[in-house]
Every structure is written in C-alpha cells, then in structure tokens.
Amino acid sequence: MRGDPVDCVVKTPVALQLGDMVSDSVRPGVYITDVVLPEPVNIREISFKNYYTAYLTVRVLKNEEGSEENPAKWFTCVRNYCLMSSPHTEGGSQDYFSIYRQQMMTEPDKVITVRLILRQPSSVWLNFNIEDIKIYPLTDEEPERDVPSWLATITPAEEPLDLNGLPDPDTVSSSIQHMWALTEIMQSSQTSASIGRFDVDGCYDVNLLSYT
C-alpha cells in the first residue's frame, strides 16, 4: 500500500548561473529546488511530474545521530537520473516519475531536506521544472514470506545434477524443433473437408480392406 505523502515545504527553484544575473541573458541550465521536511523521515519513494527537465540529481540532508560535533550532512542519492530520452525532443518531458529507495546510492534515512538539482542542457525549451513533488515515508517492513515447499526442495546450485542415462540436450532440442516444423507444415496444408479412411465417393473399395 502506497500510503499518504509526508507534509513538506517545496521552496522556489533557484537558478544556478555563472556571470551577472542582470546583464547575462543566457538561459540558466540548472535549477535547484529544496524540499524541507518537518521532521526526520525515512524516505521510501519520491514522485513528481516532469516539465522539460532532462536530468535530475537528488541529494539529501541527513540528521546524523550524535552530539553537536556530528551535524547533519549532505549525501547524493541519485546522480544524473535521465528524465528525457533526448533533451531536444518531447519524450518524457511531461511524464510522471517515481524514484524508490532501492534505486538510491545511499539509504535515505533521517532525512530533513531533499535537494533536487535539475539540468536541461538544451536551449530549445524556455523553462523547465518538476511539479507535484511528493515524498512517501518508509513504513513497516514487509513481512518475510514463507518459502514454498517446492522451492525448498530444489537441488542447490553447487551440487551438479546427475545426467547419466539422459539423452543429449542438443539432440532433444533439435528433434523438438523438427517436430514443431512438421506440425506447422501439416497445419498449414490441412483442409477443412472431412475425408474417410477408405471411402471413395461414399463407398468402400474392397481392395483397400484388410482382414485379421
């Protein structure tokens, strides 16, 4: 079950641009969006809707346990995650995405801030962003499932199977393929008319009959 997202504050994207922001008219290719969480959260999933962002990097500020000598630290969870198949085309430009903790390079536990670094190297698009950002917490761990009996009795991989007395697998495979080809030929040439075994024009030919 997906559950409800945590309450968070999505800050206004900040453009990362070299040079004078007033005199330099070149469109910025990088935006940074911070998502602030009200309390430390173990993140299970981050979902959002793309808007012409080509690549996404996710960093998290984790509240490390300890004294003041161990303040919160930044960790990179996802680096240059591709959201558009090509920055110059529409593919993936307005799709919904989800990034799960299994895809992250570090465990997103005790996270107090999520930093989303958006990149769009193409100058085709005037604006880019990600919308509808939702962060889902990690709840109770999934219970361990019992292993079916038929799986428990499978021969371990390290124990070689005894193949003495069995036919050669390559020969069997070749024979099966040959039979399959013959079946296909027979089915393609089969007619829908019903023909008796020995009847000719509704009568039996005595010469075709045999006695036991």
Q: Considering the domain boundaries, does residue 150 fall inside one? A: no
Q: Considering the domain boundaries, does residue 34 fall inside one? A: yes
Residues 12/129/38/106 CA torsion (nearest 10 deg): -130
By mean pLDDT, which of 115-129, 130-144, 149-163 is the weakest? 149-163
% the chain with pLDDT above 70: 57
Give the integer Cα–Cα distance in Å for 99 and 46: 5
Q: Considering the domain boundaries, does residue 133 fall inside one? A: yes
Give the integer Cα–Cα distance in Å for 54 and 89: 10
Nearest to 99, CA basis, from 38, 35, 143: 35
Q: Considering the domain boundaries, does residue 11 fall inside one? A: no
Q: Considering the domain boundaries, does residue 70 fall inside one? A: yes
Nearest to 118, CA basis, from 88, 151, 90, 84: 84
| Domains: count for the chain | 1
Q: Considering the domain boundaries, does residue 7 fall inside one? A: no
Q: Considering the domain boundaries, does residue 85 fall inside one? A: yes
pLDDT digits (tens, 9 = 90+) for 1-51: 578 999 999 999 998 865 555 444 556 789 999 999 999 999 999 999 999
Tokens coding 207:
């010469």
Given this model, what pLDDT does residue 24 score?
A: 47
pLDDT digits (tens, 9 = 90+) for 76-118: 999 999 999 999 999 999 999 999 999 999 999 999 999 999 9
Q: Considering the domain boundaries, does residue 181 fall inside one? A: no
Give the integer Cα–Cα distance in Å for 32 and 12: 9
Domain with 102, as residue range(s), is 30-137
Nearest to 96, CA basis, from 45, 46, 48: 48
C-beta atoms surrounding 107 within 10 Å? 15
Instruction: Find the CATH number of the domain harbouring 66.
Output: 2.60.120.260
3-state secondary structure of 169: helix
Largest CA distance in the chain: 108
